[in-house]
Structure 1
Amino acid sequence: MKKIIKQILTIIFVFSISILTYTPQAHASGEGSMAVVEGVIPISISQAKKLMEEGALVFDANVDEVRNEYGYIQNSIHINVENWQKLLPADKNTVMVFYCLNRICYTSSEMALAVMKMGYKNVYVMLEGIEQWIIYGNPVVKASKSPTADKYKYLGSNNWRNSDKVTDYTDVIHRQMMYGDIPSCRDCHGIDVGQDKKMIQEHFASNRDNVNKNCTSCHDDIGTIFMQSAHSKLVNTKENAPMCSDCHSIHLGKETTMINMKKMSDQKCGECHEKEQSMYHHTFHGKAMVLENAGQAISVAACYDCHGTHNIFKIDDNRSTLYAGENRINTCAECHPGGNENFSNFIAHADHTDKENYPLLYYAFVFMTGLVVAVFGFFGLHTFFWSVRLIMTRLKYPEQWKAAKQKAHADKVIIKRFSTLHKWQHFFMAASFLGLAFSGLPQKFYTASWAQSMIDMMGGPIGATVVHHVSAIIMGLVFISHIIEIIVHALKNKDAIRNPQTGKLELSLFWKKLFGPDSLMPRWQDFTDMKNHFLWFFGKGERPQFDRWTYWEKFDYLAVFWGMFIIGLSGLILWFPVFFTKLLPGWMLNLSTIVHSDEALLATGFIFAVHFFNTHFRADRFPMDMVIFSGTLSEEEIKQERKPWYDRLVASGKLEKLKVKNSNFESWSWFAKLVGFAMLITGMVFLFLMIYAFVEAVFF
């Protein structure tokens, strides 16, 4: 019943799309169809049937799951497999029809185009695929569900007493060959008994000394190359040197197809090269390989894209694709056009914990780790002590606490704290920061159980990269706008550092302003405030009063500057590696990866844990401080926490100028709260995922 409903919905969907996209020209030319790749020739089911009756070869591009569910056209050749090119006929004039699932499936069109580029002239694509073939009442063949039937089909006889130990009797490539010398079971499992006859011997094919001989007896061209490679027994002196079946599974495990080949190759290489695979997974290539779905992983650089396949040589061998110099440059340039020698010297398997071999990366890692631990350690304790002190105060003096809070909120005299520009800058910075966290966290914690689901929400690692880059551009524009604002403000107020007697600009006045009470630069008073704050935490003094900017607000502000330079510069290097390695050595890409990752971790964790508490979650501000949306504070709020600033405003006569007479914030405060809480909740979810990933990595 479910299948019938699914088929009906498919018909309705396809019909609707065809109506919406129909034009006479598109119908005549075949353009405008959903799964048509430019250059291929689409045909209808009736046209395909006519070609089949005339002897056309039919190629099934579906994956095994689809073939098992829907079946396949009789006598069709399953081409969505490894080394599929060997299934093609020798005659370039052969009429060939490709199909896959339906009009939304592009695999058949892409494979047909690849075949046409190989010189085949009569290649067509049956767009409707196997779904419509069935709906129109055409017959299909379904694979046998009986293990016994499969045993007789692929094993050939029932006289092999160990046959029950074999889990898969199919041989992905060989079983589909239709031309030339088609191998049988005996070609691999048999021993020569004379007169061109072979007798099956149960352990013959599993003997390590025989495997490569069996394979190279047919694949002699590949065998010649392989025998010279680093994996050959002639070169590799290790006892368990790899054999063909170590990489090319025949009867065990999931079938290798052109769709999942790269994902499986990563697993295969890692079985022997575990450490190298681990280091590879720390790079963007490796993380993309882990997180990308099989269909898209074909575009990710796998081990063999750099090291080769059967022609793998040691990198100090001038035949190696990674031999320093022209070989390595050309290998990199296949995916990174314009790559130069510096670019090619990127260390793909660098271990930043290896002090002896990678001292620069090691000390960078130690520094960044120390910075992360120091910042989280200090502000973690700061947050804890502050939180405990506020809770104790609230419990001890509930009436006074409530009265002070009500008085601050009821005060109708409001003072301007942030300009409209500042409010917009903060909004776009916060939004872009969440975008960067959303796209960056699953790459940082790529082994976490939630990483795959999170990356899939963005369409995979490449989609996440787009989100990351767009968010970075927005944050960069916010940063640039703030720098311009600082410059414009300095020029407009340059008279503040002009000596009234001489009329000249003086450096001493500049330093006084730069580190004055209205500046966000640190000054000695901040350290005094911090000391008094900690004394209050432990009940050793009165709660301190702060000026216009508190020491933790200044830290937030300066941390953004530090982060923009460190994260921003390293991010640009990783975004445009070919350009920057024209000026910088290749190891700068490795260094940038470490710095970018750890500094981003520090920024993300700090904002979601410490900044959120300082601004919103402390007991006297909970659940959210709206000042960054309204841009104002009540006069009572300033008196309660920022008395020195209030006194300076009164003394200078600036207080009246900062009073807001007609604020319209109340009319749209509901929207500000909606946006604010959405951002807060999102940030807290991200913080939870970070903590969960850490716990998962350490304890599970």
Structure 2
Amino acid sequence: MKKDDAKPVDKQFAGKNKCIVSFKQTNCASCHSQVAKDHETSVHNSARLPVNCSKCHADIHKITSIKNNKTASAKLCSSCHEKETVYFKSVHFKALESGSKDAPTCTDCHNKHAIDKIDNVSNGRIFHTQACMKCHADTEMMKRNSVTTIAPKSYFESYHGKNIRLGYPEKVAGCADCHSSHSILPEKDSNSTVNSVNLINTCNQCHKDASDGFAKFIAHAEPNNREKFPGLFWITVFMNLLLAGTFLFFWMHSLLWTFRGFAEKKQKRNAEDFSGKDKPPASEVIIKRKVYRRFKPVHITLHLFVVTSFLALALTGLPLKFNYTSWGKTLMDYLGGIGSAGLIHRIGAVITFGYFLVTLGMSIRFLFSKKHSKQPFLKRLFGPDSLFINKKDIADIKAMFKWFFFRGPKPSFERWTYWEKFDFLAVFWGVAIIGSSGLVLWFPEFFSYFLPGWIFNMATIIHSDEALLAVGFIFTVHFFNTHLRAEKFPMDFVIFNGQVTEREMVHERGQQWKRYQEEGITEKFEVKKPTPLGWDITLRLFGLLAVFTGTVLAVLIFYSVITLGLH
């Protein structure tokens, strides 16, 4: 107010000597300091959108509080934001009209004065997802309003939610991408973005080639709800039993072996000390010098592909599985983000399919090629050179458990032990299950043309749980059986150079050694020329790095499951 515009403030001063009072421009911050601070960082205090106090609070002499009047607040905002007037038709405003004090309005999501600037897709997706979760993850609030809380839980169990949690929102859909921001309507409403009629258009925003089948994917499924989703329920039960049963048996097997192995080692040491033997007999020294070929170059090469691809798949897949952990996010960031990790994961998958097909071809050749063997099919399938389970394996398992409990000698094995056969056959099971479910998730638009929508929910469960089973088994059971048991620690190098000493053959695979001697073919497998030193060192370092990496990942998995649970 200008000085010249000042007027008398009291009639008693009318006359020659008028009392003139000068008013300065009002500074709201002098009283409303916190509001001023909030407004200072608000998008309303920007050059693009300058909105000062009087824009919303026009007449400072008639200001009435709308703090508890959500309807008035929404109408005030809509006086400028005309496009957002669709809010007044939304399920949220209808709840507000029906008397719900929890129903959100503009200021519940955007705040009153500290209104965030949303200047890119990532910020927007994080903002609206967090805004939705603020209420929908509140169990008590949802219970008061008879709203289910399955949406937040199921969302963060999805690929979309996991990426949001890992910090890569630009790659996936958030709540508002499917449900819209302001015109949120019930699913049954024909104008709703998630109504069955409109759902395909909603999906097409991101998945351009999505079909009607794709839109039938159950976005917020409850796998633990037997009544609503019996198929998902039973596949979840099956996978849980498979995980529990496999780990229970083989971890028990490993623990018993650890105890028995150390006990036997101590017995041998005590026996040597008692007899005064400090060195092994000369005959054993001679035996050590003879080396035989156990694996061919093709087997070694295939195993290198297996190790490389498996580690690639584990390193890129585990951050998604354990997205709620700090190490999961750190690992994903280290890999370059979800885009880079996804590319590496798919390359690993292609390599896996490649070595699987080669192995399948070799197996078919072994079983059916007459050039390879003149034995009949069944003898090849159940014979000593086959990786298929036979009667001896059952007998070896029984004998091994007797040995564990000091009730019999350790069994003498053939070319393949029962745990090696399990490892081999598990690859066929694993690649078939993980591979098929992975392909469905890799190309969902394509498969949606001839598969029902719920298949994608089932594929997600199977792929995740079977992958966890594979990783957990390889990094604990396989590592123990092959490298970490007392007889082999810290690593059995045979799979990297294909060679085994005669002493190892005699002590560990006595039945195979006996058969080779009877057939007179031991010299056929004797290695005359050792592998180059540089090759040996390189592969040893690679093997140790692989074992170390897998062991670290196994420790992180155990720690996360014990402290945070399995989400």
Is TM more than 0.5 here? yes
Does 2:375 match 1:513?
Answer: no
Does the CA-based 8 Å contact 1:262-1:302 persist in structure 2? yes
Letter in 2 for 1:209: T
Q: Which has the higher contact order (CA 8 A, sep 6+)?
A: 2
Q: Flag the 1:599–1:166 CA change in 2: closer, same or farther, 3 A.
A: farther
Letter in 2 for 1:229: S
Structure 2 match to 1:284: 159
Which of 126, 144, 150 does residue 263 from structure 1 map onto?
126
Structure 1 match to 2:406: 539
Does the CA-based 8 Å contact 2:365-2:372 persist in structure 1? no
Structure 1 match to 2:81: 219
CA distance in structure 1 between the partners assigned to 2:530 and 2:450 by the alignment: 53
Structure 2 match to 1:89: none
Does the CA-based 8 Å contact 2:413-2:510 persist in structure 1? yes
Letter in 1 for 2:454: W
Does 2:213 match 1:342?
Answer: yes
CA distance in structure 1 between the partners assigned to 2:223 and 2:265 by the alignment: 48
Structure 1 match to 2:10: none
CA distance in structure 2 between the partners assigned to 1:566 and 1:240 by the alignment: 45
Does 2:174 match 1:302?
Answer: yes
- Map 1:192-591 to 2 at 5 A: 197-199=59-61, 201=63, 203-205=65-67, 207-223=69-85, 225-233=86-94, 237=98, 238-252=100-114, 255-258=117-120, 259-274=122-137, 275-293=150-168, 297-325=169-197, 327-398=198-269, 407=284, 411-493=288-370, 496=373, 509-591=376-458
Does 2:45 match 1:168?
Answer: no
Question: What does the per-residue CA deviation read over 1:32-61, in whole Å, with 9 as the maximum and x for residues that have no partner?
Answer: xxxxxxxxxxxxxxxxxxxxxxxxxxxxxx
Does the CA-based 8 Å contact 1:187-1:214 persist in structure 2? no
CA distance in structure 2 between the partners assigned to 1:405 and 1:604 by the alignment: 42
Does the CA-based 8 Å contact 2:412-2:510 persist in structure 1? yes
Shift of 1:482: 1.3
Does the CA-based 8 Å contact 1:261-1:298 persist in structure 2? no
- Structure 1 window deviating more from structure 2 (629-638 vs 598-607): it is 629-638
Secondary structure of the corresponding residue to residue 40 of structure 2: coil
Question: What does the per-residue CA deviation read over 1:90-112, in whole Å, with 9 as the maximum and x for residues that have no partner?
Answer: xxxxxxxxxxxxxxxxxxxxxxx
Letter in 2 for 1:219: H
- Map 1:70-149 to 2 at 5 A: none
- Larger proportion of helix: 2
- Structure 1 window deviating more from structure 2 (624-633 vs 561-570): it is 624-633
- Structure 1 window deviating more from structure 2 (234-243 vs 594-603): it is 234-243
Shift of 1:476: 1.2
TM-score (norm 2): 0.86
CA distance in structure 1 between the partners assigned to 2:231 and 2:559 by the alignment: 31
Structure 1 match to 2:141: none
CA distance in structure 2 between the partners assigned to 1:290 and 1:302 by the alignment: 11
Shift of 1:495: 7.5
Shift of 1:680: 0.8
Does the CA-based 8 Å contact 2:44-2:115 persist in structure 1? no
Letter in 2 for 1:607: I
Does the CA-based 8 Å contact 1:312-1:320 persist in structure 2? yes
Q: Flag the 1:312–1:155 CA change in 2: closer, same or farther, 3 A.
A: farther
Letter in 2 for 1:188: C
CA distance in structure 2 between the partners assigned to 1:655 and 1:233 by the alignment: 85
Secondary structure of the corresponding residue to residue 174 of structure 1: coil
- Map 1:594-633 to 2 at 5 A: 594-633=461-500
Secondary structure of the corresponding residue to residue 220 of structure 2: coil
Secondary structure of the corresponding residue to residue 542 of structure 1: coil
CA distance in structure 1 between the partners assigned to 2:408 and 2:380 by the alignment: 31
Question: What does the per-residue CA deviation read over 1:355-389, in whole Å, with 9 as the maximum and x for residues that have no partner?
Answer: 22111111111110111011111111100000011
CA distance in structure 2 between the partners assigned to 1:514 and 1:546 by the alignment: 17
CA distance in structure 1 between the partners assigned to 2:297 and 2:321 by the alignment: 35
Question: What does the per-residue CA deviation read over 1:607-665, in whole Å, with 9 as the maximum and x for residues that have no partner?
Answer: 00010000011101111111001112112111101111111111122222122222325
Q: Flag the 1:637–1:214 CA change in 2: closer, same or farther, 3 A.
A: same
Secondary structure of the corresponding residue to residue 260 of structure 1: helix
Shift of 1:249: 2.4
CA distance in structure 2 between the partners assigned to 1:377 and 1:166 by the alignment: 61
Does the CA-based 8 Å contact 2:484-2:490 persist in structure 1? yes
Secondary structure of the corresponding residue to residue 453 of structure 1: helix
Does the CA-based 8 Å contact 1:448-1:696 persist in structure 2? no
Does the CA-based 8 Å contact 1:417-1:631 persist in structure 2? yes
Structure 1 match to 2:552: 685
Shift of 1:545: 0.8
Shift of 1:205: 4.3
Does the CA-based 8 Å contact 1:608-1:684 persist in structure 2? yes
Instruction: Identify unmatched segments of 5+ residues in structure 2.
Output: 1-24, 138-149, 273-277
CA distance in structure 2 between the partners assigned to 1:616 and 1:290 by the alignment: 36
Does the CA-based 8 Å contact 1:571-1:592 persist in structure 2? yes
Shift of 1:210: 2.2
Letter in 2 for 1:526: D
Structure 2 match to 1:80: none
Does the CA-based 8 Å contact 1:188-1:205 persist in structure 2? no
Structure 2 match to 1:48: none
Letter in 1 for 2:323: Y
Secondary structure of the corresponding residue to residue 450 of structure 1: helix
Q: Flag the 1:189–1:688 CA change in 2: closer, same or farther, 3 A.
A: farther
CA RMSD of aligned residues (A): 2.6
CA distance in structure 1 between the partners assigned to 2:134 and 2:281 by the alignment: 63
Does the CA-based 8 Å contact 1:408-1:634 persist in structure 2? no
CA distance in structure 2 between the partners assigned to 1:210 and 1:562 by the alignment: 62
Does the CA-based 8 Å contact 2:43-2:115 persist in structure 1? no
Question: What does the per-residue CA deviation read over 1:577-633, in whole Å, with 9 as the maximum and x for residues that have no partner?
Answer: 011111111111110000000000000010000100000111011111110011121
Instruction: Identify unmatched segments of 5+ residues in structure 1.
Output: 1-153, 191-196, 499-508
Question: What does the per-residue CA deviation read over 1:303-336, in whole Å, with 9 as the maximum and x for residues that have no partner?
Answer: 11111111221111111112113x1111111211
CA distance in structure 2 between the partners assigned to 1:354 and 1:661 by the alignment: 64
CA distance in structure 2 between the partners assigned to 1:158 and 1:596 by the alignment: 57
Shift of 1:541: 0.8
The alignment covers a number of residue pairs equal to 523
Letter in 1 for 2:289: K
Shift of 1:445: 0.6
Structure 1 match to 2:6: none
Identical-pair percentage: 38
Q: Flag the 1:633–1:546 CA change in 2: closer, same or farther, 3 A.
A: same
Letter in 1 for 2:156: H
CA distance in structure 2 between the partners assigned to 1:599 and 1:588 by the alignment: 16
- Structure 1 window deviating more from structure 2 (393-402 vs 259-268): it is 393-402
TM-score (norm 1): 0.71
